[in-house]
Structures are given as structure tokens and as C-alpha cells.
Amino acid sequence: MLTWADAGALLAVLVWGMSFPVVKAVMTVMDPVTLMLVRGVIASIVLSALARRAGAWRLPDRADGPALLAAGLVGFTVNQMLYSWGLHLTSASHSGLIFTLTPLFVFGLSHVLGHARMDRLDLLGLALGVAGAILIVGWPAGGGVAGGSSLLGDLLTVGAALTWGVWTILAVPVLRRHGTLVGTAWITVTGTLGLLPFGLPGLILQDWAALPVWAVVGILYAGTAASAGGSLLWYAAVRRLGPARTAIYANMESLFAVLAAVLFLGERVAAASVVGGIAVVAGVLLTRRRP
């Protein structure tokens, strides 16, 4: 039975999928890590303002420190650095494909930790989602629409997908204790501070006056809709559904990433991608057959 939390997770991966080609394009005029820092600053401001407006903002307690540092630094700082350089060195659609590793990792780790139980239909749903994502983008060894990728970029993106899975699990204690809005704001602020030493040199050297209008629009989209809005929707779903069930929707991110790449970067999508899209949707519905 699908719920509002499922809809929120679906909308989150939609805005994230669209951000792949947007961020990829902005990286042509800005250092990748600097872009992640700017995006994190924008998201931190938006989330903190929303929390303050709701009357929920306060500084974290000392007891929240370990969980907050783990979720913020490991799941946000490290994730964003791997994601930015991985996307910079590979194609947007190929990066979307690699991120389908996340549900497998989260579901498996959640099973090991005793947070979720997998049966044959769960495994079938995961297999359908991954197979569908491969059809959408095209088998990497065959080129397909995933041209322009590199081994280093792929490996960095694999690391980003895995750390995003860790992030999804590590965030649960903070979210359940303090709520989605405050917990997401704290994690984003902590992770952004972790990016500061790595992105500050590029921030100082960046020629801001020379940035084209489309790049500014892309940065604002990445910081507000993708980072702040997407994180809120995703963590609300994680709090309601649990990390394992929510992570299943990451399979659909590749579908949205490829569709956005067609619109913004002019990538071609073969007929097999339509079949892949159907398989991804079927896999998600199969794994979410129970409330």
C-alpha cells in the first residue's frame, strides 16, 4: 500500500535525478567541490530558516554529537565530494545508473543490522530495478548513452552511492529524536561545515561576475529544490518507512536522470530504455507491496 511517504520519496528522487545534468553543466564553469559547498550553504540557510519559522530551531545537544557527526561528515561531506568529482569525470546518465547500487547496499546492511527482513519478492524487486536501470542507460561496456564516462569517475560515483546508503541509515536516530525538519537542517549544516576546508580555495578564486545566468539558476535549483527540498522529502520518507524501504526508490533516480539528460544535454535514449523504465517501476511497486 503506497502512502504519502512513498510519494515524498518519489518526488525526492525526481528532483535529484533532474539535478544530475544540471550539476554536470554547472561544473563546466565552477570547481566541483566548490559547487557542492555553495549548494550546501544555500540548503543550510533554507532549512535553518524553515526550522526557525516553525519555531523548532535550536542547537543540538551534546548527546546528539556522535550521531550527528557520523551522518553529517560521513554521509554528507564525504558523499558530496565523491559525488561531485565522480559526476565531473563521468556522464550524467551513467552516474544515475551507478546510484542504483544504493538500495542493494542499504537493504543488505539493514538486513544485517536487523532493521529489515528480505524475502524472495524483495530480492526480485531489487533485481528488476537494477536490471531496468541498466536498460535505461545502456550497458556501460557497450557505450550506449553513457558515453563520456571514465573508470575513475565510475569508482568515485560508486563510493558516493555507498556513502549515501550509509547516510540514509545513520540519519535515522537524529530524525526520530528531533523530527525531519530539524534533523535534516542539523545534518546539512554539519556536512556543509565539513566541506568548507575543501571548497574554500575554489570559492575565493571563483570569478562570480563571469558566471552565466543559466549557471546561477542551476546553482539555485541544486541548493533549494534538490538539496533542501529533496533532503526534507527523503528524510520524511526515511522516518516513516525506514531506510531500507525508502532506499528502493533510488532505483527510479536513474530513470529521471536519463530523462533530464535528454532534455538538458541532448543525450539519446534507445527503445530499451522504455522497457527499463517499466522494470524499474515494477521493481519499486513489488518491494513496496506491504505497508
Residue range 6-19, pLDDT digits in tens? 888 889 989 988 89
Type of residue found at 218: G
Q: Looking up cell 565552477, which residue turns up?
A: 30
Say how many C-beta atoms besides its own lie within 10 A of residue 57's C-beta. 16
User: Given this model, what pLDDT does residue 146 score?
Assistant: 39
Q: Looking up cell 560515483, which residue turns up?
A: 157
Do 61 and 178 touch, CB atoms closer than 8 A?
no
User: What does the alpha-carbon distance between residue 11 and residue 191 come to, in Å, rounded to a whole number?
Assistant: 23
User: Given this model, what pLDDT does residue 221 score?
Assistant: 95
Q: What is the average pLDDT value for the chain, to the nearest integer?
A: 80
283, pLDDT greater than 50: yes
Domain boundaries, the chain: 4-287
Confidence of residue 213 (pLDDT cuts 50, 70, 90): very high
- Does the CA dihedral 2-277-265-140 come out positive or negative? positive
Confidence of residue 178 (pLDDT cuts 50, 70, 90): confident
- Which range is least confidently modeled, 101-105, 219-223, 230-234? 101-105
Burial pattern 76-92, b for ≥16 Cβ within 10 A else e, equals: bbbbbbbbbbbbbbbbb
- Angstrom CA distances, 245 to 2, 9, 152, stand at 11, 10, 30
Q: What is the 8-class DSSP label of residue 248?
A: G
User: Given this model, what pLDDT does residue 60 score?
Assistant: 83
Alpha helices, DSSP H only, in 75-150?
79-89, 92-98, 101-113, 120-137
Say how many C-beta atoms besides its own lie within 10 A of residue 114's C-beta. 7
pLDDT > 90 fraction of the chain, expressed in percent and rounded:
27
